[in-house]
Amino acid sequence: MSTPREVIWIPKSVVLHVYREAYSILARATEEMRGLEERPDCVWHPERFTGPLHRFDRGRGFLDSLGWQLPDGDAHVAVEQRPVLLDVLSAAMVIQTDLLESGRKDGIDWKSEHEMAAELAELVSFTAKIVALLDSL
């Protein structure tokens, strides 16, 4: 079992974003493989699967460490997964920024805008901590 020193704690405020993006890694890699397999010459070009298989393993390894089930509270992931965690957080920040901007354009109410902005701030703050952790290692 991992000791607290070997894991990165992910606060509840960003956990759902992390899970959504982790599953998106799996979705993209498997979609890519499905597309490759449908090509009639796929049996002659196995090298095309190398990239998506690697991306699938990366997403799966992350979920294996994180746990495939969304927890009620905080989550944690092995410290070795920090590069994937950083990728996941970066993607989540882009999506949250887009959501906030399109919400503003559509004239969402103040409360919703405030909540979305607060979620984005949590993501930015946590990502900064992970970047600092990466720099320190």
Partner 1 sequence: MTMTRKMLNLPPEAAYQVREASLGELGDAAADIATASSLAGRESHPEWFRGHVERFDQHRALLDAIGWEDPEPVEIDLAEHGRAFFAGLELLLETELYLARVSKENEGGNHQRRTAERHIEQIEACLASALVVIGI
Q: Give the binding site for partner 1 (CB under 8 A).
A: 16, 19-20, 23-24, 26-27, 30-31, 33-34, 36-38, 42-43, 46-47, 49, 53, 56, 60, 68-70
Residues with Cβ within 8 Å of residue 47, at least 6 apart in sequence: none
Shortest gap between Cβ of 42 and partner 1 (angstroms)? 6
How far is it, in rounded angstroms, from Cα 57 to Cα 89? 18
Q: How far apart, in Å, are the Cα atoms of 33 and each of 19, 36, 51? A: 22, 5, 9
Which residue, 39 or 114, has its beta carbon nearer to partner 1? 39
Shortest gap between Cβ of 136 and partner 1 (angstroms)? 30
Which residue, 99 or 131, has its beta carbon nearer to partner 1? 99
Shortest gap between Cβ of 14 and partner 1 (angstroms)? 13
Q: Which of 89, 33, 87 is nearest to 56 (CA)?
A: 33
How far is it, in rounded angstroms, from Cα 49 to Cα 6? 32
Which residue, 33 or 89, has its beta carbon nearer to partner 1? 33
Q: Which of 27, 133, 118 is nearest to 86 (CA)?
A: 133
Which residue, 19 or 126, has its beta carbon nearer to partner 1? 19
Shortest gap between Cβ of 55 and partner 1 (angstroms)? 12
